[in-house]
Amino acid sequence: MHKAQYTANAASFGKDFWWGVATAAAQNEGAHTADGRGLSIWDVFARRQGKIKGGAKPYDACHFYYRYKEDLMLAKALGFNTFRLSFSWSRLFPMGKGKPNKAGLAFYHQVIDECLKLGLVPFVTLYHWDLPQALEKEGGWAAFHINEWFNHYVRFCAKEYGSKVKHWIVLNEPFGFTSLGYLLGRHAPGKKSLPAFFSAVHHAVLAQADGGNILRTEVHKGHIGTSFSCSAIVPYTQKPEDVAAANRADILFNRLFIEPLLGKGYPKDNFPLLEKLEIHNQAWKYEKRMQCKMDFIGLQNYFPLTIRHNAFIPLVQASEVKAITRKVPHTAMGWEINPDSFHHIIKRFWKYGGIKEIIITENGAAFKDKVEHGVINDTARTAYFSDHLDALLRARHEGVKISGYMAWTLMDNFEWAEGYAARFGLVHVDFKTQLRTIKNSGYWWRDFLTEKQV
């Protein structure tokens, strides 16, 4: 692994850098039926036996709905100047469309006002995976009308909150919710359908551009972006079949959504799956609508992927070689720890051109934290952050315009199909009592961010 060329501290990133923690409504808020909120696809998916570890459900999560003042104060106390949250579409529109929910509207005004009061700049994600169940019944992201519903939701939020919120993220990780939710069935809504996946991908591509253009029109002096999951892809060997498999994986994991946004259309490589996607959606008709000149793109990176050819995997014919089998450093979830790959993927996206700035909208690691005498000494997580910030600083020095970094996440939460077993937080949560305990990694961030600026 490359030895760090730079040792990061907060001052080395400059005074105008966004330092934040990222959160999501479905993972934190709880109160899933409180005050008129409608069900989301995750509320329903969690009922299906065996889909979520430990039978966990997001119904209570971290009680952020009731404890947001305390949790925002924690973010402020740890030294952050930015707070990323998402709106629960079904809290604002219980049926996904139609009449808005006044209590839901008021809640997000209260959260935003509290952020501003504390000096935390709110970055709002409009869609972080929790589609209203009422819309899923009509086909969800695979439905023909999803873009009409989504655009109405975006325009409403922009008009309702745009005088207070200037920083917006349209979609969170579209490859994640389309592939895991509509192709592999591992996430909500749990579908396994290639046609549904094709439709969901195309509609999400249109949604990220439509959403960005709507926000540009409706929010005065808005700072508009959208976020992508990304991973450096490495072939297991240099055999032609492994290299080709890695290229196919790279198209899906890294290129599928960013290239249409930048005006390049869907990737045109010799990959039959892409040809089917193009034909299924008649995508050539939509290339202009797929585009939006964002003010920033959010990159969300946790690990690289090592890929080998696998003839038994349909269509993609590729599979991951797990970090644990290669005996390389990894997190509790088996994700490889490799700051160099973080540096590489940032540089890779910047080289596209047409990107004004990059914000790291998620980065972090889950470990098996132990509470001993009220203390969580999570040295591995602290090392992870320190090494990745060094890599980030190196990219900045090499000419990449990076304007912010958001750690995932403020506190342990409902981690999708992992339930409550995967702990990413800087703050430990006892989910039986909702007691918050700052981990040593949280104190490390406090010291990192509040040391005297020189």
175-206 pLDDT per residue, tens: 999 999 999 999 999 999 999 999 999 999 99
Tell me what pLDDT residue 4 has.
52
pLDDT at 5 over 80: no
Tell me what pLDDT residue 392 has.
98
141-162 pLDDT per residue, tens: 999 999 999 999 999 999 999 9
**Mean of the per-residue pLDDT values of the chain:** 97
Residue 1 lies in a domain: no
Tell me what pLDDT residue 235 has.
98
Residue 5 lies in a domain: no
Residue-wise over 329-350: b if at least 16 C-beta within 10 A, else e? Answer: ebbbbebbbbbbbbbbbbebbb
Count of residues making up the chain: 454
pLDDT at 1 over 50: no
Confidence band (pLDDT; 50, 70, 90) for 454? very low
Among 29, 114, 173, 415, which one carries the catalytic annotation?
173
What is the domain-level CATH number for residue 106?
A: 3.20.20.80
104-134 pLDDT per residue, tens: 999 999 999 999 999 999 999 999 999 999 9
Among 29, 259, 362, 415, which one carries the catalytic annotation?
362
Residue % of the chain over a pLDDT of 90: 96
77-93 pLDDT per residue, tens: 999 999 999 999 999 99
Tell me what pLDDT residue 81 has.
98
pLDDT at 6 over 90: no
Q: Which of 325, 321, 363 is nearest to 341 (CA)?
A: 363
Residue 172 lies in a domain: yes
Residue 2 lies in a domain: no
pLDDT at 277 over 50: yes
pLDDT at 429 over 80: yes
239-269 pLDDT per residue, tens: 999 999 999 999 999 999 999 999 999 998 9
Q: Active site includes 362?
A: yes
Tell me what pLDDT residue 453 has.
46
Residue 4 lies in a domain: no
pLDDT at 452 over 90: no
Averaged pLDDT for residues 406-435: 98
299-352 pLDDT per residue, tens: 999 999 999 999 999 999 999 999 999 999 999 999 999 999 999 999 999 999
Residue % of the chain over a pLDDT of 70: 98
Residue 293 lies in a domain: yes
Q: Active site includes 287?
A: no
pTM: 0.97
Tell me what pLDDT residue 397 has.
97
What single-letter amino acid sits at 237?
T
User: Measured between alpha carbons, how far is residue 116 from residues 64, 158, 346 in Å?
Assistant: 17, 17, 30
Residue 228 lies in a domain: yes
**Which of the two residues, 103 and 1, has the higher pLDDT score?**
103
Tell me what pLDDT residue 268 has.
85
10-25 pLDDT per residue, tens: 999 999 999 999 999 9
Residue 207 lies in a domain: yes
Backbone angles phi, psi at 383, to 5 degrees: -65, -40
Range of the domain at 81: 10-450
Averaged pLDDT for residues 383-397: 98
41-71 pLDDT per residue, tens: 999 999 999 999 999 999 999 999 999 999 9
Number of folded domains that form the chain: 1
